[in-house]
Amino acid sequence: MSQPPAPPAALPEEPAPTTADLRVLLGVQRRLATPPVVRTAQLMSHAGEHAAVWIAAGTLGALVDRPRRRRWVEATAGVVAAHGASVVVKRITRRVRPSHPGVLVHAGTPSRFSLPSSHATSTTAAVVAFGALVGRGKLAPLVPAMALSRLVVGVHYPTDVLAGSVLGAVVGATAPRWFARVGGAR
Protein backbone atom coordinates (compact mmCIF):
# COMPACT_ATOMS: atom_id res chain seq x y z
CA MET A 1 0.00 0.00 0.00
CA SER A 2 1.46 3.38 -0.95
CA GLN A 3 1.61 6.26 1.45
CA PRO A 4 0.06 9.62 0.60
CA PRO A 5 2.52 12.20 -0.70
CA ALA A 6 4.24 14.34 1.89
CA PRO A 7 2.74 17.81 2.31
CA PRO A 8 4.67 20.65 0.69
CA ALA A 9 7.29 22.33 2.84
CA ALA A 10 5.69 25.00 4.99
CA LEU A 11 6.67 28.61 4.67
CA PRO A 12 8.53 30.02 7.62
CA GLU A 13 6.29 31.39 10.35
CA GLU A 14 5.38 34.97 9.61
CA PRO A 15 5.25 37.47 12.44
CA ALA A 16 1.71 37.60 13.77
CA PRO A 17 0.08 40.98 14.09
CA THR A 18 -0.30 42.24 17.60
CA THR A 19 -3.76 42.48 19.06
CA ALA A 20 -3.29 46.25 19.02
CA ASP A 21 -2.38 46.07 15.32
CA LEU A 22 -5.65 44.35 14.49
CA ARG A 23 -7.67 46.61 16.80
CA VAL A 24 -6.29 49.74 15.13
CA LEU A 25 -6.89 48.33 11.64
CA LEU A 26 -10.49 47.41 12.46
CA GLY A 27 -11.04 50.79 14.14
CA VAL A 28 -9.74 52.70 11.11
CA GLN A 29 -12.00 50.71 8.83
CA ARG A 30 -15.04 51.25 11.08
CA ARG A 31 -14.49 54.99 11.32
CA LEU A 32 -13.10 55.92 7.91
CA ALA A 33 -14.17 53.34 5.32
CA THR A 34 -17.09 55.27 3.85
CA PRO A 35 -17.72 54.78 0.12
CA PRO A 36 -16.03 58.07 -0.93
CA VAL A 37 -13.01 57.39 1.30
CA VAL A 38 -12.72 53.81 0.01
CA ARG A 39 -12.85 55.06 -3.61
CA THR A 40 -10.14 57.62 -2.88
CA ALA A 41 -8.00 54.98 -1.14
CA GLN A 42 -8.45 52.66 -4.12
CA LEU A 43 -7.27 55.41 -6.48
CA MET A 44 -4.26 56.00 -4.25
CA SER A 45 -3.61 52.26 -4.26
CA HIS A 46 -3.56 52.14 -8.06
CA ALA A 47 -1.43 55.28 -8.36
CA GLY A 48 1.10 54.03 -5.83
CA GLU A 49 1.45 50.53 -7.26
CA HIS A 50 5.15 49.82 -7.91
CA ALA A 51 5.88 53.49 -7.06
CA ALA A 52 4.43 54.43 -10.48
CA VAL A 53 3.08 57.85 -9.52
CA TRP A 54 6.36 58.80 -7.85
CA ILE A 55 8.49 57.62 -10.76
CA ALA A 56 6.25 59.64 -13.10
CA ALA A 57 6.48 62.71 -10.84
CA GLY A 58 10.26 62.45 -10.66
CA THR A 59 10.52 62.02 -14.42
CA LEU A 60 8.31 65.07 -14.94
CA GLY A 61 10.44 67.05 -12.49
CA ALA A 62 13.58 66.07 -14.41
CA LEU A 63 11.99 67.13 -17.69
CA VAL A 64 10.68 70.53 -16.60
CA ASP A 65 13.31 71.59 -14.04
CA ARG A 66 16.35 71.56 -16.31
CA PRO A 67 18.74 73.31 -13.90
CA ARG A 68 18.14 70.58 -11.31
CA ARG A 69 17.59 67.67 -13.68
CA ARG A 70 20.41 65.62 -12.20
CA ARG A 71 19.01 66.05 -8.66
CA TRP A 72 15.55 64.96 -9.86
CA VAL A 73 17.05 61.85 -11.45
CA GLU A 74 18.96 61.07 -8.24
CA ALA A 75 15.82 61.62 -6.13
CA THR A 76 13.78 59.39 -8.44
CA ALA A 77 16.48 56.72 -8.26
CA GLY A 78 16.15 56.97 -4.47
CA VAL A 79 12.41 56.29 -4.72
CA VAL A 80 13.06 53.28 -6.96
CA ALA A 81 15.71 52.03 -4.51
CA ALA A 82 13.28 52.40 -1.61
CA HIS A 83 10.59 50.47 -3.45
CA GLY A 84 13.09 47.73 -4.29
CA ALA A 85 14.24 47.57 -0.68
CA SER A 86 10.64 47.13 0.50
CA VAL A 87 10.12 44.22 -1.87
CA VAL A 88 13.28 42.52 -0.58
CA VAL A 89 12.26 43.04 3.06
CA LYS A 90 8.80 41.58 2.30
CA ARG A 91 10.44 38.43 0.98
CA ILE A 92 12.43 38.15 4.20
CA THR A 93 9.68 38.91 6.72
CA ARG A 94 6.96 36.97 4.86
CA ARG A 95 4.20 38.48 6.98
CA VAL A 96 0.85 37.64 5.43
CA ARG A 97 -1.68 40.38 4.75
CA PRO A 98 -4.68 40.84 7.06
CA SER A 99 -7.12 37.96 6.86
CA HIS A 100 -9.37 38.54 9.86
CA PRO A 101 -13.09 38.10 9.05
CA GLY A 102 -13.78 41.66 10.23
CA VAL A 103 -11.28 43.22 7.81
CA LEU A 104 -12.86 44.34 4.55
CA VAL A 105 -10.44 44.16 1.62
CA HIS A 106 -11.11 46.78 -1.05
CA ALA A 107 -8.00 46.41 -3.25
CA GLY A 108 -6.00 43.72 -4.97
CA THR A 109 -2.31 43.22 -4.25
CA PRO A 110 0.60 41.81 -6.27
CA SER A 111 1.74 39.58 -3.41
CA ARG A 112 0.39 38.04 -0.23
CA PHE A 113 3.10 39.59 1.93
CA SER A 114 2.57 42.84 3.80
CA LEU A 115 5.58 43.91 5.88
CA PRO A 116 6.60 46.60 5.03
CA SER A 117 4.01 48.46 2.97
CA SER A 118 5.68 49.27 -0.35
CA HIS A 119 3.17 52.08 -0.90
CA ALA A 120 4.16 53.70 2.41
CA THR A 121 7.84 53.10 1.64
CA SER A 122 7.82 54.71 -1.81
CA THR A 123 5.54 57.57 -0.74
CA THR A 124 7.74 58.47 2.22
CA ALA A 125 10.87 58.16 0.07
CA ALA A 126 9.29 60.49 -2.51
CA VAL A 127 8.32 63.03 0.15
CA VAL A 128 11.86 63.02 1.56
CA ALA A 129 13.74 62.95 -1.77
CA PHE A 130 11.45 65.26 -3.76
CA GLY A 131 10.83 67.42 -0.71
CA ALA A 132 14.47 68.49 -0.88
CA LEU A 133 13.60 69.97 -4.28
CA VAL A 134 10.10 71.39 -3.77
CA GLY A 135 9.74 71.73 -0.01
CA ARG A 136 8.85 68.91 2.36
CA GLY A 137 6.01 70.87 3.92
CA LYS A 138 4.11 70.76 0.63
CA LEU A 139 4.45 66.99 0.35
CA ALA A 140 4.39 65.87 4.00
CA PRO A 141 0.59 65.24 4.17
CA LEU A 142 0.99 62.53 1.53
CA VAL A 143 2.70 60.19 4.01
CA PRO A 144 -0.19 59.82 6.49
CA ALA A 145 -2.70 59.90 3.63
CA MET A 146 -1.05 56.93 1.89
CA ALA A 147 -0.54 55.10 5.19
CA LEU A 148 -4.20 55.46 6.14
CA SER A 149 -5.31 54.47 2.64
CA ARG A 150 -3.57 51.10 3.04
CA LEU A 151 -5.58 50.47 6.22
CA VAL A 152 -8.83 51.68 4.66
CA VAL A 153 -8.48 49.20 1.78
CA GLY A 154 -7.63 46.47 4.30
CA VAL A 155 -4.33 45.25 2.89
CA HIS A 156 -1.94 46.26 5.69
CA TYR A 157 -1.62 46.36 9.43
CA PRO A 158 -0.57 49.65 11.06
CA THR A 159 2.91 48.28 11.78
CA ASP A 160 3.31 47.48 8.06
CA VAL A 161 2.79 51.12 7.10
CA LEU A 162 4.91 52.35 10.01
CA ALA A 163 7.79 50.09 8.96
CA GLY A 164 7.36 51.18 5.34
CA SER A 165 7.45 54.84 6.32
CA VAL A 166 10.64 54.37 8.34
CA LEU A 167 12.30 52.43 5.51
CA GLY A 168 11.20 55.05 2.98
CA ALA A 169 12.52 57.91 5.11
CA VAL A 170 15.92 56.26 5.51
CA VAL A 171 16.34 55.26 1.86
CA GLY A 172 14.75 58.48 0.57
CA ALA A 173 17.29 60.52 2.56
CA THR A 174 20.39 58.46 1.82
CA ALA A 175 19.99 56.97 -1.66
CA PRO A 176 19.93 60.26 -3.63
CA ARG A 177 23.17 61.34 -1.91
CA TRP A 178 24.74 57.98 -2.71
CA PHE A 179 23.64 58.23 -6.35
CA ALA A 180 25.05 61.78 -6.49
CA ARG A 181 28.44 60.55 -5.21
CA VAL A 182 28.50 57.61 -7.61
CA GLY A 183 27.39 59.76 -10.54
CA GLY A 184 29.84 62.52 -9.64
CA ALA A 185 32.77 60.09 -9.79
CA ARG A 186 32.67 60.00 -13.57
DSSP state of 106: -
- What pLDDT is recorded for position 18? 67
Q: Provide the CATH topology of domain 20-184.
A: Vanadium-containing Chloroperoxidase; domain 2 (1.10.606)
Provide the β-strand partners of residue 96: 113
pLDDT in tens, the chain (186 residues): 566 665 555 544 545 566 899 999 999 999 999 999 999 999 999 999 999 999 999 999 999 999 999 999 999 999 999 999 999 999 999 999 998 888 999 998 889 999 999 999 999 999 999 999 998 899 999 999 999 999 999 999 999 999 999 999 999 999 888 877 887 644
Query: How far apart are the C-alpha atoms of 152 and 154, rounded to whole Å?
Result: 5
The domain ranges of the chain are: 20-184
- What pLDDT is recorded for position 6? 58
- Give the pTM: 0.86
- What pLDDT is recorded for position 14? 47
Query: How far apart are the C-alpha atoms of 71 and 177, rounded to whole Å?
Result: 9
Query: How far apart are the C-alpha atoms of 17 and 77, rounded to whole Å?
Result: 32
